[in-house]
Chain A
């Protein structure tokens, strides 16, 4: 009974000590690393979550093992052609080796962040500094970011840190360069506007010309067809006349002559006639019989 009570008391003491962070039980949560120090010397490095048992009266240090965001101050960075570009970047990193990290940065995260920022800035200068402004603007951001990430990751390797990536966020051009960009943009737009207007004219004139052509062709084709039809009419008429009149060409000539007189001689015509004219035959010769014609008339 006494033994059980003693054990219980020990357990309670151990729990009380553990709650104060002095071991022997160490509870490590997900996303956490812990180091147990005994008189300043690390006795245990815990990278897996759960409960661990170590010596009592240790000192524990907690580290955040999750991905950390680290924004960098905006920096003006010179390019190889002495231009300047303003770049915003950010890095995402986490502690990968808590012991190494603790040795490197005994005071904690703030110191690590300063170090990482310094490295990022240095590599940014290096990567951008080898390119002209045009190249920086032209080249895919992905490529520059890839190079930047690789170089920075290499540099912070000894810090017990894992660098996920360094990303370029906002880039801003120096004032003078920006003016140039605006001038070029304006020129491009003017070119486009002129092109569109000229294209409009081109298309419109083509459509009009095509319409005019088609209209003219339609009318001319119809005129041609019309001539053919008229010709057909004339030809058919001529054939019909010829067929009928050829029955007695002499009589047709006579009849047609009379018809022509009717049409051509009339009011306003002056005729100079001789009394022996056919019409006046009766007038000059009286009522005497004569000529085969008069004999015909008596029939």
Chain B
């Protein structure tokens, strides 16, 4: 009885032991999952999952995620792919000559400009940015400067000073190309030339060119102002002259017409009584003319006195 009882006890003990082992194993597994079997993605983040170090998959949806096998078999690398980062290069207004010298760049026409620029970028491919390239920061820094220097080196100083937008676009394109060559997974948003200046020691000469350009425009504007003043005046004069002439023409014609009418009217009367009209006209005219005239009446044959005639005295005597 005791034997059988003992075997029964042993059976129960073994069962209990197995149960305990099972609970322990399950508990251990549960604890493993609970601590290392999940991760949470915030908005804008992606997770690169490696299984035994090899790429398994990329998770891009935000929220809570369970892994198929907990760490360390499956590990996740969480990368933010939405935050745009800015990096500034150079300070054109720096007083430290060494800092200023770093901004100096050569143009294609062997001039020197000082350029200050900004690069905006973000991580485009999470996997590449983590597992294909080391020293991401240094690579970005040197590549950006090399790209900007190369683009400026392909352009003349006037292109650089007058078209910083185009330079920025070209530099962004070249930088993207360079970074792609390193499998960096970086995405270049934009490169902007923020400040470009000629070197300090020749800046006055550059300013003078700007002033000369303004002088040119001013001169042209003034000349155009002059033209705008002279031409209307000339047209005004032309109009006056022409209108004057037309007035003369029309007046002449009108007067002639009037005078002709008058003559014809008198002529009509004259033809009715020519002798008497003639006489009347003559006498009327004399009446009109003679009162104001100094008159000296001399008999014919006394012409010899004429040379001695004191016209001034005669005039006095006649009054």
Interface residues of A (CB under 8 A from B): 27-32, 48-51, 64, 66-69, 71, 90, 92, 137-138, 140-142, 164-165, 167-173, 178, 181-182, 184-186, 188-190, 192-197, 199-201, 203-208, 210-212, 214-216, 218-219, 221-223, 225-230, 232-234, 236-238, 240-241, 243-245, 247-248, 251-252, 254-255, 258, 261-262, 265-276, 278-280, 292-293, 295-297, 299
Contacts and interface: CB of A to CB of B under 8 A. Distances in A.
A196 B209 contact: yes
B234 interface: yes
21 contacts: A31-B134, A48-B54, A66-B134, A71-B142, A185-B199, A186-B202, A189-B205, A189-B209, A190-B208, A196-B212, A208-B226, A211-B230, A225-B245, A240-B253, A240-B256, A244-B260, A269-B294, A270-B295, A274-B297, A278-B282, A299-B276
Interface of B: 50-55, 101-102, 104, 106, 110-112, 127, 130-135, 138-139, 142-143, 145-146, 149-150, 153-154, 157, 178, 181-184, 198-199, 201-202, 205-206, 208-209, 211-213, 215-220, 222-224, 226-227, 230-231, 233-235, 237-239, 241-242, 244-246, 248-253, 255-257, 259-261, 263-264, 266-267, 270-271, 273-276, 278-279, 281-283, 285-286, 288-290, 292-300, 306, 309, 311, 314-315
Given A211-B226, A247-B267, A233 B248 contact: yes
A279 B189 CA distance: 118
A241 B259 contact: yes
B53 A240 contact: no
Given A169-B142, A266-B289, A293-B275, A216 B234 contact: yes
A265 B289 contact: yes
Given A200-B218, A233-B251, A233-B253, A182 B202 contact: yes
B245 A229 contact: yes
A208 B223 contact: yes
A225 B50 CA distance: 98
A30 B55 CA distance: 7
Contacts of A178: 112
A172 B218 contact: no
B275 to A, nearest CB: 3
Contacts of A262: 285, 288-289
B234 A219 contact: yes
A188 to B, nearest CB: 8
Given A92-B181, A226-B244, 14 more contacts: A30-B50, A30-B131, A69-B139, A92-B139, A137-B106, A137-B110, A185-B112, A186-B202, A204-B219, A215-B231, A233-B251, A234-B252, A252-B263, A255-B266
A296 B273 contact: yes
Contacts of A212: 230
Given A230-B245, A233-B250, A200 B219 contact: yes
A205 B223 contact: yes
Contacts of A90: 142, 146
A193 B211 contact: yes
A227 B150 contact: no
Given A230-B249, A255-B263, A182 B201 contact: yes
Contacts of B55: 30, 49
A69 B251 CA distance: 100
B297 A280 contact: yes
B275 A296 contact: yes
B153 A141 contact: yes
Contact of B131 (A31, A71, A247): A31
B131 A274 contact: no
A266 B112 CA distance: 95
B241 A226 contact: yes
B216 A203 contact: yes
Given A189-B205, A258-B281, A271-B295, A214 B52 contact: no
Interface pairs A-B: 8 shortest CB-CB? A233-B249, A200-B216, A226-B245, A296-B275, A222-B238, A215-B234, A244-B260, A211-B227
Contacts of B216: 196-197, 199-200, 203
Contacts of B215: 196-197, 200
Nearest to B158: A192
Contacts of B145: 169-170
Contacts of A241: 256, 259-260
Contacts of B149: 141, 168-171
B273 A243 contact: no
Contacts of A236: 249, 252-253, 256
B220 A200 contact: yes
A269 B315 CA distance: 10
Contacts of B255: 237
A92 B135 CA distance: 10
B279 A293 contact: yes
B286 A240 contact: no
B294 A258 contact: no
Contact of B205 (A28, A31, A190, A270): A190
A270 B315 contact: yes
Given A49-B54, A251-B267, A142 B253 contact: no
